[in-house]
Structure 1
Amino acid sequence: MNDVPHDPHAPHDPHARHGLARFGWNDEVADAFVPHAAAGLLPARIARVDRGRCEAITPHGTVHAGIEPVATHDPTRWLTTGDWAAIGDDAQGRPEVKAILPRRTAFLRSTSSKRSEGQVLAANVDHAVVAVSLAAELDLGRIERFVSLAWTSGAQPLVLLTKTDLVPDPDTLAHLVADTETVAPGVRVLPVSSRTGEGVDLLRALLTGGSTVLLGVSGAGKSTLTNTLVGREVQQVNTIRDSDGKGRHTTTARDLIPLPDGGVLIDTPGLRGVGLWDAGEGLEQAFAEIEELAAQCRFHDCGHHSEPGCAVLAAIADGSLPERRLDSYRKLLRENERLAARTDARLRAEQRQRFKQRQATGRHMMERKRGPAGGRSRRGGGGGSGW
């Protein structure tokens, strides 16, 4: 990598100095980068991570960089698309990520691994857009999961009902939007169609200038929508079965793509599973109406089963709260609690293992210092007792 002189104050003028403004560079990122600028490192935003290396967008273009110095055992801290980083040279003079800047937001889910680990899908995003295809029946429970994780990430959720051209009846479409709004309180629900252009201009306006992660299952139309927003084909599009709206994964890795009117879009592979990860706060927001009702219950620890004066059960009785919502809330709470318990147990086990390894290493080093026979030959001057 070229040796580029750095002015510690330069990051505060991103338009004139860095050319990273269109990728989200702002004063907050600049302030976090100041010590790295003083060390002669180059700012970059991670566009793609693959097989131990990454594509990083710098003020001088895209570089392919190693990531060994920022390797960690915690998957939630692994380098990911959207991260801001500091780039320097390795021993051979090749670009290498030296540090990851603190994340403003991060979208995480639990993996399918039995180790109960988290996986970070994108970092430093303003909008978490959940694409839901109308080619198949609405899965309200899945929408609730995505919305809960989106709230947990710190980003603003937005639900897109894609492929509205498959629902020509306006009344039917209105009902589908209303059903989705019921399970996503406080979240904007926008019907869109890449084929007809419905909702695309409004979506483009909503996303301009920010960083957006596009999420959804395979076949939700994310890649087609990405191409529509960008104005050219940047993602391959596969044919989707009309019978069930399913298809193969089009996007195989997370990519950071600049939008023509400003801002960036992170397209993600179709997610087969959307397990919760430390989603307590996100669940509170995703089920805000239940939380508000619970605050009105007679008992502060009301379980909403058969307790007297339960405002949640009263709302179910009068029809203002669908029973399905309470069932889903309980289910996701139990899942989140189970995952937290398994994660704590795993972390405790790993801590014990690391402690045992340190003990073993310490004993080994002490034995090496003592030498043969515990050091008696040095202190005793021969084979007799030296004590």
Structure 2
Amino acid sequence: MPDVLLGWDEHLDAAWQELGEPGAHGTPGRVSRIDRGWSTILRRATDVEPLRVRNIGADVAVGDWVVVDEAIERVAHVIGRRSAFVRRASHEGDRAEADVLAANIDVVFLVHALTAPPNQRRLERELVLAFDSGAQPEIVLTKPDVADDIETTVAELRAVAAGVPVHIASGITGVGLEPIRAAAVGGRTLAFFGASGVGKSTLVNSLIGRQEMATSEVRKHDQRGRHTTVATQLLPLADGGWLIDTPGFRAVSLWLSGRGIERAFIDVFDLMDDCRFRDCKHDQEPGCAVRAAITAGELDPLRFASLRRLVAEEAALEEEQARRQRIADRRKGGREPLDDDPDVE
């Protein structure tokens, strides 16, 4: 039986049974790190000699539960995920490819530094991805011990937080860490995402009780830092539970959304329900509740413009996916796309 202390649960057990309960060399085990096509796999929470196998032909992310082959050379099966934080791959040349940053997570912590100007637009994007992940989103604001005008920054970020919990915590002083630790009670898995220099590594070191992640100074003129976390890792918390730390990333590109946009902009969608016309475009139509809220100063026009951009981005992504599927279907049927085919660039 896979180790429940490693995060195994009823959902994973059901997905494993659907595969016929494959197992080899003590797996299913959990992926704790990925390096250039190699997975490090823990078979027990106390495993001191994890397996290291290739990811050939397998879509694997840190946090996944996998079964290795009999030769202990590669990942043979990936157990169905119960949650995953996914963005669009940002590498040049990738078109509409998913980038799974962490899998089988319970709480997603979106980390922002109080020392930097509040970035509402980034937080909105992160919240869309977090809501779509299937995990519970929460926000952590770091560096309160060295920040100025904390109240203003917190207020601006809360304004777009869609009602999710907001924590103020310091990895240096330890202030505010207890609610974060409590989220891992019962062997749950926490995941931390944020830009470089927001204090994520310092926070992680405090939570796991040791200096596991390297830290670096941020630049004084813009409070930006270098990527001190170089690989995504699954780490044990001192009081039980698990933590997935990820390298800081700049691009927060949407992947195919479920209800993430609606949940991240619930205040705007609630206003839309009050529009006089069901097909209101929120432009010049009479009785538009959205425009009325903007005029009254109750809705920031920048937030509404952000929503429109994200909806358009998602629509373009869906069309790209559909176009690629049409090409694949033609090739599968033995028909190569013609040069003047609108689906071919």
Q: Same fold by TM-score, threshold 0.5 exceeded? A: yes
Find the counterpart in structure 1 of residue 39 from structure 2: 54
Q: Is the 8 A contact 1:48 1:256 kept in 2?
A: yes
Q: 1:179 aligns with which of 156, 163, 172?
A: 156
| Consecutive unaligned residues in structure 2, runs of 5 or more | 337-345
Q: CA deviation at 1:161?
A: 0.9
Q: Structure 1 residues 35 and 293 mapped into 2: Cα distance closer, same or farther (>3 Å)?
A: closer
Q: 1:324 aligns with which of 302, 307, 313?
A: 302
Q: Is the 8 A contact 1:185 1:287 kept in 2?
A: yes
The percent of aligned pairs where both chains have the same amino acid is 39
Q: Structure 1 residues 316 and 106 mapped into 2: Cα distance closer, same or farther (>3 Å)?
A: same
How far apart in 2 are the matches of 1:211 and 1:357?
46
Q: 1:144 aligns with which of 97, 114, 124?
A: 124
Find the counterpart in structure 1 of residue 65 from structure 2: 84
**Structure 2 counterpart of 1:104, one-letter code:** R
Find the counterpart in structure 2 of residue 241 from structure 1: 219
Q: Structure 1 residues 58 and 95 mapped into 2: Cα distance closer, same or farther (>3 Å)?
A: farther
How many residues are aligned here?
329
How far apart in 2 are the matches of 1:100 and 1:349?
27
1:269-288 paired onto structure 2 within 5 Å: 269-288=247-266
Find the counterpart in structure 1 of residue 194 from structure 2: 216
Decide which moves more: 349-358 or 184-193.
349-358
Find the counterpart in structure 2 of residue 203 from structure 1: 180
1:2-21 paired onto structure 2 within 5 Å: 11=1, 18=2, 20-21=3-4
Q: CA deviation at 1:180?
A: 0.9
Q: Structure 1 residues 357 and 124 mapped into 2: Cα distance closer, same or farther (>3 Å)?
A: farther
Q: CA deviation at 1:195?
A: 1.6
Partner secondary structure for residue 119 of structure 1: strand
1:1-387 paired onto structure 2 within 5 Å: 11=1, 18=2, 20-34=3-17, 38-41=21-24, 42-59=27-44, 61=47, 62-68=50-56, 70-71=57-58, 78-90=59-71, 94-112=72-90, 113-114=92-93, 115-167=95-147, 172-208=149-185, 209-356=187-334
How far apart in 1 are the matches of 2:283 and 2:318?
24
**Structure 2 counterpart of 1:222, one-letter code:** K
How far apart in 1 are the matches of 2:195 and 2:329?
36
Q: Structure 1 residues 38 and 340 mapped into 2: Cα distance closer, same or farther (>3 Å)?
A: closer
How far apart in 2 are the matches of 1:52 and 1:325?
40
Q: Is the 8 A contact 1:135 1:242 kept in 2?
A: no
Deviations 1:134-186 (A, max 9, x none): 22211110010101110011111111111111225xxx322222211111112
How far apart in 1 are the matches of 2:80 and 2:23?
19
Partner secondary structure for residue 251 of structure 2: coil
Partner secondary structure for residue 207 of structure 1: coil
Partner secondary structure for residue 318 of structure 2: helix
Q: Is the 8 A contact 2:81 2:103 kept in 1?
A: yes
Partner secondary structure for residue 166 of structure 1: coil
Q: CA deviation at 1:356?
A: 3.4
**Structure 2 counterpart of 1:145, one-letter code:** R
Q: Which has the larger radius of gyration?
A: 1
Partner secondary structure for residue 356 of structure 1: coil
How far apart in 1 are the matches of 2:36 and 2:335?
29
**Structure 2 counterpart of 1:87, one-letter code:** V
Decide which moves more: 346-355 or 283-292.
346-355
Q: Structure 1 residues 280 and 21 mapped into 2: Cα distance closer, same or farther (>3 Å)?
A: closer
Q: CA deviation at 1:63?
A: 0.9
| Consecutive unaligned residues in structure 1, runs of 5 or more | 1-10, 12-17, 72-77, 359-387
Q: Structure 1 residues 30 and 175 mapped into 2: Cα distance closer, same or farther (>3 Å)?
A: same
Q: Is the 8 A contact 1:104 1:124 kept in 2?
A: yes
RMSD: 2.1
Q: Is the 8 A contact 2:12 2:81 kept in 1?
A: no
Q: CA deviation at 1:280?
A: 4.9
Deviations 1:186-217 (A, max 9, x none): 21111111122221122212233311111011
Decide which moves more: 54-63 or 152-161.
54-63
Find the counterpart in structure 2 of residue 371 from structure 1: none
**Structure 2 counterpart of 1:242, one-letter code:** K
How far apart in 1 are the matches of 2:329 and 2:234?
36
Q: Is the 8 A contact 2:172 2:202 kept in 1?
A: no
Q: CA deviation at 1:33?
A: 2.5
Partner secondary structure for residue 41 of structure 2: strand
**Structure 2 counterpart of 1:27, one-letter code:** E
**Structure 1 counterpart of 2:11, one-letter code:** E
Q: CA deviation at 1:224?
A: 1.0
